Amino acid sequence: MSQAQEQETVREDGKIRSVSGPVVQAVDLDARMNDVVYVGDEGLMGEVIEIEGDITTIQVYEETSGVGPGEPVMNTGEPLTVDLGPGLLDSIYDGVQRPLDVLESKMDSAFLDRGVDAPGIELDKHWEFTPEVSAGDEVEPGDIVGTVEETVTIDHKVLVPPTFEGGEVTSVESGDFTVEETVVELDNGEEITMRQEWPVREARPSANKKTPREPLVSGQRILDGLFPIAKGGTAAIPGPFGSGKTVTQHSLAKFADADIIVYVGCGERGNEMTEVIDDFPDLEDPSTGNPLMARTSLIANTSNMPVAARESCVYTGITIAEYYRDMGYDVALMADSTSRWAEAMREISSRLEEMPGEEGYPAYLAARLSEFYERAGYFENINDTEGSISAIGAVSPPGGDFSEPVTQNTLRIVKTFWALDADLAERRHFPAINWNESYSLYQSQLDPWFQENVEQDWPEERQWAVDVLDEEGELQEIVQLVGKDALPEDQQLTLEVARYLREGYLQQNAFNPTDMYCPPAKTYAILTAIHKFNDEAFRALEAGVPVDEIADIEAAPRLNRIATQEDWEEYVAELKDTIETQLREKY
């Protein structure tokens, strides 16, 4: 959040009329909806959320203990904005973009104090600006005027703010500058710096949305293999507590082949953010080999932090994502959990005594959710580059029941659904993504990519796996009644094959150093190895080999170990041969 906004229209200050938790009412305040205000003697940051006659209602982003009627309220006259510019990456913010490391040193405490503000990006740091335009060039809003090496991985593109008119470049700087110094000047007097502001609740403009055709490769077998998400796609990952939402989101943040990761920890655990801060600098980005933090921006509004800032944190995140999209990057945004965001809306709404909708959520819940996911997509930018935002939201349904409003309203919007399952999690089948309930509507538009980049028969292999798993589901119902031995031998064999699909293919341990990331080629290789076993086993069965003998061959259990092999190519080749030999020996 920026402080440099006093120069705006001077507006009249008001005073507090009432305080109830995060909701404060003020009188005599001349304000517009969504203006940022400073509340009380301590100047707590808040936002105008309702105006009725002379009474202005404000949601306050900090604790309000001790604040009382009569204290002043000062209006900044500006909506809630984020600071955009170099320095966004490799940093961690609270829900209103205050850098948590800066807060720690400003407050000189490990605990979050009140009334302390800090700019979102460092104002006095010097960055080396390399111009990409020269005097005399015409530039339009959104155009790239130069670059800055923001981190080892990312070249930050300095853009003409979308709100500018554009015109002819009259002077260009080159070299070290702070983000507030002018680096490019236009003939109409507009001065371009490396920093711009944008109101978080408003989408940054784009030229066009296009159909996504490339997968966001996640390195997670069940996702890439069965339920892929596109670059520019949307996904929801709902599940009860402890089913693996956060672990999956973390895996995506680590391994997804996006250029930029924006990770929004919304109303969840402090330690989970600490884990990211600790792990990411030491982990390698699989596509560049650089530290993961170099492409990551973290937003942390943990569950014990003020509830109003929980409402704003997803907007802060998506605005940062849009900014990098505008530079032509593929951005992936994870929000964990969107339910906490929805609950924050509910809490504020109920303090406002608005008419509650389903389960007490405000009537505008569905609209807010779809506005948010609409900001994702594969875009043609206003500067003619292409960029994407993939948005992946965790959902935490009460009691794990997917029929509740947040899950249902989310499912109406997103195109990928990864359903987590408490039963699978209980038996430590991870990721506990239920393969019967989950789906991806991107599958067919992404198949050509997998065919071209992995193997031609990718779709057929996948279909084979899906069929076997389906059949297993049906057979299991019978087994529950009569036991496995009562089934005909070919069906028993199908169960055996399906078990390898579940254990060797679908399961993936996020904490195993080798298995945590599985490139698509390996995903494919594991599948074909199990398929090979299937084909050889059924041949043996037809030749009269009893199913027990088939299942007992020495090589079969090794199908479950491919995932943890570093040199999986050799291992798979060798394993396929051994399976063939061992089974053919039997007849």
Partner 1 sequence: MKEYKTITEISGPLVFAEVDEPVGYDEIVEIETPNGETKRGQILESEEGVVAIQVFEGTTGIDKNASVRFLGETMKMPVTEDLLGRVLDGSGRPIDGGPEIVPEEREDIVGAAINPYSREYPEEFIQTGVSGIDGMNTLVRGQKLPIFSGSGLPHNELALQVARQATVPEEAAEEGEDASEFAVIFGAMGITAEEANEFMEDFEQTGALERSVVFMNLADDPAVERTVTPRMALTTAEYLAFEKGYHVLVILTDITNYCEALREIGAAREEVPGRRGYPGYMYTDLAQLYERAGRIKGREGSVTQIPILTMPGDDDTHPIPDLTGYITEGQIMLDRGLNSQGVEPPIDVLPSLSRLMDDGIGEGLTREDHADVSDQMYAAYAEGEDLRDLVNIVGREALSERDNKYLDFAERFEEEFVDQGYDTNRSIAETLDIGWELLSTLPKTELNRVDEELIEQYYQDTDSEEAEEVAAD
Q: How far is the CB of 523 from ligand ATP (least distance, A)?
A: 15
Calculate ∠ Cα 486-491-495, nearest 5°.
100
Would the annotation count 246 as a binding residue? Answer: yes
Are 204 and 238 a contacting pair, CB within 8 Å?
A: no
213 binds partner 1 (CB under 8 A): no
Q: What would the two tokens of residue 153 be?
A: 């991985």
Phi, psi of 306 (to 5 degrees): -55, 140
63 binds partner 1 (CB under 8 A): yes
**Distance of CA 328 to CAs 206, 338, 385, Å?**
11, 26, 5
Q: How far is the CB of 387 from ligand ATP (least distance, A)?
A: 29
Would the annotation count 473 as a binding residue? Answer: no
**Distance of CA 85 to CAs 38, 74, 82, 156, 374, Å?**
25, 27, 10, 8, 24
| Residues 503-532, mask of contacts with ligand ATP (x by CB under 6 A) | -----xxxx---------------------
Separation CA 158–CA 177 (nearest Å)? 13
Handedness of CA 547, 509, 227, 448 (dihedral sign): negative
Are 379 and 210 a contacting pair, CB within 8 Å?
A: yes
* CB closer to ligand ATP out of 428 and 483: 428
Would the annotation count 242 as a binding residue? Answer: yes
Are 513 and 553 a contacting pair, CB within 8 Å?
A: no
255 binds ligand ATP (CB under 6 A): no
Site for ligand ATP, residues 367 to 406, rule: CB under 6 A: 396
Stretch that binds partner 1, among 188-196, 204-212, 230-238, 476-484 (CB under 8 A): 476-484
Are 413 and 231 a contacting pair, CB within 8 Å?
A: no
116 binds partner 1 (CB under 8 A): no
| Residues 224-243, mask of contacts with ligand ATP (x by CB under 6 A) | ---------------x-xxx
Stretch that binds partner 1, among 147-155, 221-229, 234-242, 248-256 (CB under 8 A): 234-242
**Reading across the β-sheet that carries 175-177, which strands appear in turn?**
155-159, 144-149, 127-131, 175-177
Number of residues that bind partner 1 (CB under 8 A): 75
Calculate ∠ Cα 179-376-430, nearest 5°.
110
403 binds partner 1 (CB under 8 A): no
Site for ligand ATP, residues 417 to 436, rule: CB under 6 A: 430-431
Stretch that binds partner 1, among 43-51, 95-103, 150-158, 162-170 (CB under 8 A): 95-103
555 binds ligand ATP (CB under 6 A): no
Q: How far is the CB of 551 from partner 1 (least distance, A)?
A: 9
- Nearest by Cα to 324 from 86, 79, 1, 3: 86
| Among residues 204, 295, 346, 462, the one that binds partner 1 under rule CB under 8 A | 346
Which residues form the interface with ligand ATP (CB under 6 A)?
Answer: 239, 241-247, 268, 396, 430-431, 508-511
